[in-house]
Structure 1
Amino acid sequence: MRTSIATVCLSGTLEEKLDAVASAGFDGVEIFTQDLLVSPTAPEEVRARAADLGLCLDLYQPFRNGVELAPDKFDDALRRLRRTAELMNRLGTPTLLVCSNVSPDAVADDDLVAEQLHRMGEVAADHGVRLAYEALAWGTHVHGHDHAHRLVLAADHPNVGTCLDSFHILSRGGDPASIQDMDGDKIFFVQLADAPLMRLDVLSWSRHHRVFPGEGDFDLVDVMTRLVRSGYSGPVSLEIFNDSFRQADVVRTAVDGLRSLRWLEDRTRSAMASELSASPGTEGSVGAGTRGTTDRLELQTLPKISAPSGWDFVELRTTDLGDTTRLLHRLGFRLGGHHRSKDVQVWLQGDVRVVVSEAGEGTRRQPDLDPRERPGRRPVAEIAGLGYEVEDPAAAYQRALQLGSDPVNRSELPGEAVLRGVWAPDGTEIFFGPAPGAGVPAWLEEFGVESEATGFADLITGIDHVNVAQKWQHYDEGVLFYTSVLALEAAAAQDVPGPSGLVRSQVMRSPDGAVRMPLNLAPTAAEQGSFVGVAYPEHIALASTDVREVARRAMRRGLEFLTVPENYYEDLVTRFDLDPATVAELRELNLLYDRDEHGEFLHFYTRTLGDLFMEVVERRGYQGFGAEDAPVRLAAQYRLQSRETSAEQRWT
């Protein structure tokens, strides 16, 4: 499948956009008019630069107010078209996007519109270019893809075809089924965009909230399967209008865009597997057998994976090793051993393995991507790496690389286990370990751990979930990364109010719930106000069969709990009609309580250690994540960190 992307998707200058698109691995690019007009680079030089980068200039866009016009206004549209076609010849773009008219004066006369498209096709033919007519979702009279295609067929000109845009089709509730009945040779261009479902006027929705495939709620696999069946063989391009993308790093956005197309391509091929097996074709690709074309859209596959079956390990990186290991000890972890060649420890309890390393050269990569701002004097503890148990680590690693992820370069001495890992968008190291089998994992043996069976009555039995923070401009990128690379599924997002702004949380999880990862959208610096510079903490939630006893043991060992206000416990009586003795015990142990239709939830939080805190949870059939208690935690952490920051400022 030939991939393309519109320059309007990206930040930066036209020259920077071309470089980023090429480095990401796209085949082509759409040139947006404004990007060319504000560039000091001549069209011929843009053409040469794209050729040097190995990019095709697939489309020039948009040509507005050129059709559906009163006869006395159409001659000027033809004049503008000739000038535009001359520019396209200099630029080397073969196709021009012609939008349906959005003016209140647009003419609602299909016969006239078809005639105008035909006359425009004559001008296009004189200059050797093609016109792709697109129905804008807010078009005055032409706003459906079927209507636009009927007009193209009625125009009956070889240089006039249809442009299909998934946003314009799906945002109005259109049915893409008709695409498969179109002649693929009359589809001149295809643009894809996903979007979250919103109650918003379609123009505002389109201009500000489009996202890459896999980051929204549209069924783009259905659109793609219809497209393949039509026999279309041209580029599949991204056209995304999004405020965040226009401010984000251009290279990262381009990589994320190609990842979305490769993921969609793989999903589409999987959905069409039965058609592939029933018709002849090249192994590794699927095309339209119904049209009989030899030049067809081919869909490549990615290495097949299943979602992780569990957590292999969590790695913490710290500048305060003493406080970090004391926190683990107070929660009941025991030192498993020191690595034989690296300055790294492993702490064990139940099925939980926590690797601890001191911050240094290995601190989280690309600090500009880190969603937390750290004042220099605060001790740091952070989630540096996450290890997942997967069925085929080699396949998972290769899939991640093919989806544009950068490998983690980890040194090993001869005889040491090779851990395959890639960088997540937020700078976390993601490792693929083998699913549980016989014996101790090879990497754990390097710590001198010969058996994980210790005879301890472990109160903490596993990892319930890991909560990681994301920067606002890369939140959707994080969702797509965990969806495409780890085959996790995204649940509906929730907004949780806190003193520094709304926190958006979206849970990524494996189908069986063995791995759960809430991604939290950290408030921006502007939203934080006087709270600027205070870390937005992440946390590890540990599963327990007896959270009360974990809390008692932790209190005896000196754990610093996050303080829960008295008003919270008074409200518990109102919300759940708990008896006074139960509430008194919860208050004594700093426990929080929630209940849903499935059961009860008891949990407590530790105080933050740098950018990290721990949570211990006991689920009694409960399915949620304690969302009702999250504002209590956020407020308590805000008060605590504000006091710490004020104290630090007095010393500087």
Structure 2
Amino acid sequence: MRTSIATVSLSGPLSEKLTAVAAAGFDGVEIFENDLLAGPLSPEEVRLRCADLGLSIDLYQPFRDFEAVPERLADGLRRAERKFDVMERLGADLLLVCSSVAADAVDDDELAAAHLRLLAERAERRGIRIAYEALAWGRNVSTYDHAWRIVERADHPALGTCLDSFHILSRGSDVKGIADIPGEKIFFLQLADAPLMAMDVLQWSRHYRCFPGQGGFDVAGLVAAAVGAGYAGPLSLEVFNDVFRQAGAASTAVDALRSLLLLEESAALSTPPAPAVPSGFAFAELAAADTEPLRGVLAALGFGRTGRHTSKPVELWEQGEARILLNTGAGDRRTGPELTAVGVESPDPDRAARRAEAMLAPVVPRRRAEGDAPLDAVAAPDGTELFFCRTGRSDHPSWTGDFTGVPQSGSAEPAGIRRIDHIALTQPWHQFDEASLFYRGVLGLEGDDSLDLADPYGLRRSRAVATADGAVRIALNVAPAPGGNDTRLQHIALATDDIVATARRIRERGAGLLPIPANYYDDLDARYALDPQLLATLAACGILYDRDGEGEFFHCYTATVGRVFFELVQRVGGYRGYGAQNAAVRLAAQHTQLHGV
């Protein structure tokens, strides 16, 4: 289906918004009146600009407080004629009319229908149609089925309805009734998702809408109902969001179109390459101008340096199935080591790459020497590179073949680490929702609910995405505000079957684990009444504990080097979480370690 987006969904002046919309690949645009009024371009210039960019102008909006306000009918008709003048100059032929919120609006469907029919008659003479929409906070008309009854009563060919997913789903309306609306009378379909919140619907709408797939609404079900009823117009996004209004228009537009591509797939309207759901982590790559501190940590953790890349300044460190790459030719001395790339084990790397490109993931250009394995990589929204691998398989070149053996370096004795359990990435504040949608869309991961984690300086949002079997888990976090290095920390969680033995071995080798306050263990005893010997062992090793109805979780942390630290985890039973209950303690302890408080 054709795609469109309201200019109110993006930041910046109208000319920049149009450029971003076209560059992302949209077919059309809704012109939000305020964007036109505040800009220097005349309606004719906007029309030409859209034509040059290959964009249709699908809707002009909004027109407010018209129907069933009898004392202001003449004024409403005068306003409408002026809007029609502007629309003719723009080349737009569809006007959105919102249900009245005026205090003097009359609760009279017959009167509302008569007024809308009068408006439609005037619009038809100008080659314009009217799409009537029920605002969720409309004074007398607040549901889509009520709006449709008024349109049906008005009975004019130039009058139809606009279905808006936020207004419909925020009120909990049943979308089954959409089947009763003839498809040709659904003039427009506006789409937005939103997190499920208990708050005033007007404030909810103006500040917290998001793109489909980033919230809790069943937008795909609504789209399927509208298309099933015969709707054949564009899928158009109308999102009011404080974060989007401050983020760059170009990246937001790409995120927006990706959401529509995934929505079309969910509603069975398109068939992009299916996700090649990964089966595990192949590697995590750390880049540092000075890698000696990381080498020391890896050696203490029981990793051994097993290879060096044949053409790049990259070392391979391994323990069990956990592989860490150290890139000595990159990194920022000011911030120290950082996590720059993640490799995932893919059942079909070629299909994974095609899926990623279909979901608008930018391909990472690679300098490949003769004989290097053909690894495909795309960039996540925060710049982290994502590689699709098949390690040690005969049916696909293995990236490990690019590494030659070197004399064993580091610990000769493993510490019990088996594999990478999860990766945690702190996102720029304006890309949190985009990142969640990216990993779900590109890798086919499933998203958990968003959480707020207590931090010494505010709240951090966190959301995990993972495969159904937990083989790949990625925790996405956003710091409370832009700030120092500790607000952008990343970490690699390593799985062990005996965290106590692993922690003791690491400490014996001189690696510091993050000190945890005694107060935490007093509270742990109060909450769970653990065996006293186990509690003492946890306290002595700095291990944190959590459990739920499925199992238990033990975890501890190394000291931070640059932007990176390691977490050791042991999962018992079916525990699938990340120890969120302990996040506040960990964050406070890290702040103490980094700042010496």
Task: Provide the C-alpha distance between the structure 2 equivalents of 1:542 and 1:501, rounded to a whole number of angstroms.
Answer: 28
Task: Provide the C-alpha distance between the structure 2 equivalents of 1:578 and 1:222, rounded to a whole number of angstroms.
Answer: 46
Give the aligned residue type for 2:503.
Answer: A
Q: In structure 2, do the counterparts of structure 1 residues 192 and 449 end up closer, same or farther at CA, with 3 Å as the change threshold?
A: farther
Answer with 433-442 or 319-328: which moved more.
433-442
The number of equivalent residue pairs is 593
Q: Which secondary structure does the structure 1 equivalent of 2:403 belong to? A: coil
Q: Which secondary structure does the structure 1 equivalent of 2:246 belong to? A: coil
The offset of 1:435, in angstroms, is 7.3
* Deviation by residue 1:334-368 (Cα, 9 ceiling, x = unmatched): 111100111100111111111110253xx5xxxxx
1:307–1:390 Cα contact (<8 Å) kept: yes
* Deviation by residue 1:545-587 (Cα, 9 ceiling, x = unmatched): 1112211221222112111122223333333333443333323
Q: Does 1:570 align with 2:522?
A: yes
Q: In structure 2, do the counterparts of structure 1 residues 118 and 332 end up closer, same or farther at CA, with 3 Å as the change threshold?
A: same
**1:343 paired residue among 309, 313, 321:** 313
* Deviation by residue 1:11-38 (Cα, 9 ceiling, x = unmatched): 0000000000000000000000100001
* Deviation by residue 1:176-202 (Cα, 9 ceiling, x = unmatched): 112233211111111000011100111
Task: Provide the C-alpha distance between the structure 2 equivalents of 1:381 and 1:535, rounded to a whole number of angstroms.
Answer: 15
The offset of 1:422, in angstroms, is 0.7
**2:454 paired residue among 497, 506, 509:** 497
**1:637 paired residue among 587, 590, 593:** 590
Task: Provide the C-alpha distance between the structure 2 equivalents of 1:121 and 1:339, rounded to a whole number of angstroms.
Answer: 70
- The answer for the alignment partner of 2:291 in structure 1 is 321
Q: Which secondary structure does the structure 2 equivalent of 1:630 belong to? A: helix
Q: Could you list the structure 1 runs, at least 4 aligned residues long, displaced by more than 6 angstroms after superposition.
A: 454-458
The offset of 1:458, in angstroms, is 6.2
Task: Provide the C-alpha distance between the structure 1 equivalents of 2:393 and 2:310, rounded to a whole number of angstroms.
Answer: 23
Q: Which secondary structure does the structure 2 equivalent of 1:497 belong to? A: strand
1:495–1:503 Cα contact (<8 Å) kept: yes
Within 5 A, what are the aligned runs for 1:250-399?
Answer: 250-269=249-268, 299-360=269-330, 377-378=334-335, 380-399=336-355
Q: Which secondary structure does the structure 2 equivalent of 1:560 belong to? A: coil
Task: Provide the C-alpha distance between the structure 1 equivalents of 2:396 and 2:541, rounded to a whole number of angstroms.
Answer: 35
* Deviation by residue 1:420-467 (Cα, 9 ceiling, x = unmatched): 1111011100111237745996210111269x9x99766111111111
The offset of 1:232, in angstroms, is 1.2
TM-score by length of 1: 0.88
2:417–2:494 Cα contact (<8 Å) kept: yes
- The answer for the alignment partner of 1:513 in structure 2 is 470
Task: Provide the C-alpha distance between the structure 1 equivalents of 2:538 and 2:69, rounded to a whole number of angstroms.
Answer: 73
Give the aligned residue type for 1:417.
Answer: A
1:335–1:346 Cα contact (<8 Å) kept: yes
CA RMSD of aligned residues (A): 2.1
Task: Provide the C-alpha distance between the structure 1 equivalents of 2:313 and 2:291, rounded to a whole number of angstroms.
Answer: 11
* Deviation by residue 1:459-480 (Cα, 9 ceiling, x = unmatched): 1111111111112211111111
Within 5 A, what are the aligned runs for 1:33-432?
Answer: 33-70=33-70, 72-269=71-268, 299-360=269-330, 377-378=334-335, 380-432=336-388
The offset of 1:67, in angstroms, is 1.1
Give the aligned residue type for 2:591.
Answer: Y
Identity of aligned residues (%): 50
Q: In structure 2, do the counterparts of structure 1 residues 510 and 449 end up closer, same or farther at CA, with 3 Å as the change threshold?
A: farther
Task: Provide the C-alpha distance between the structure 2 equivalents of 1:509 and 1:581, rounded to a whole number of angstroms.
Answer: 34
2:415–2:502 Cα contact (<8 Å) kept: no
1:255–1:404 Cα contact (<8 Å) kept: yes
Give the aligned residue type for 1:332.
Answer: G
Task: Provide the C-alpha distance between the structure 1 equivalents of 2:555 and 2:14, rounded to a whole number of angstroms.
Answer: 52
1:67–1:101 Cα contact (<8 Å) kept: yes
- The answer for the alignment partner of 1:31 in structure 2 is 31
Task: Provide the C-alpha distance between the structure 2 equivalents of 1:176 and 1:440, rounded to a whole number of angstroms.
Answer: 47
Q: In structure 2, do the counterparts of structure 1 residues 482 and 168 end up closer, same or farther at CA, with 3 Å as the change threshold?
A: same
* Deviation by residue 1:457-511 (Cα, 9 ceiling, x = unmatched): 6611111111111122111111111111111111112222121211221111111
Give the aligned residue type for 1:399.
Answer: R
The offset of 1:255, in angstroms, is 0.4
* Deviation by residue 1:296-319 (Cα, 9 ceiling, x = unmatched): xxx332101242111111111112
The offset of 1:140, in angstroms, is 0.9
Gaps of 5+ in 2: none
* Deviation by residue 1:592-616 (Cα, 9 ceiling, x = unmatched): 2333333332222000001010011
Task: Provide the C-alpha distance between the structure 2 equivalents of 1:440 and 1:86, rounded to a whole number of angstroms.
Answer: 62
The offset of 1:42, in angstroms, is 0.8
Q: Which secondary structure does the structure 2 equivalent of 1:628 belong to? A: helix
Q: In structure 2, do the counterparts of structure 1 residues 533 and 618 end up closer, same or farther at CA, with 3 Å as the change threshold?
A: closer
Q: In structure 2, do the counterparts of structure 1 residues 436 and 480 end up closer, same or farther at CA, with 3 Å as the change threshold?
A: farther
The offset of 1:383, in angstroms, is 1.1
**2:544 paired residue among 572, 592, 599:** 592
Answer with 138-147 or 252-261: which moved more.
138-147
**1:561 paired residue among 509, 513, 535:** 513
- The answer for the alignment partner of 1:467 in structure 2 is 424
1:560–1:607 Cα contact (<8 Å) kept: yes
The offset of 1:81, in angstroms, is 0.7
1:318–1:358 Cα contact (<8 Å) kept: yes
The offset of 1:66, in angstroms, is 1.4
The offset of 1:102, in angstroms, is 0.7
Q: Which secondary structure does the structure 1 equivalent of 2:566 belong to? A: strand
The offset of 1:536, in angstroms, is 2.9
1:601–1:617 Cα contact (<8 Å) kept: yes
The offset of 1:207, in angstroms, is 0.6
2:464–2:475 Cα contact (<8 Å) kept: yes
2:314–2:329 Cα contact (<8 Å) kept: no
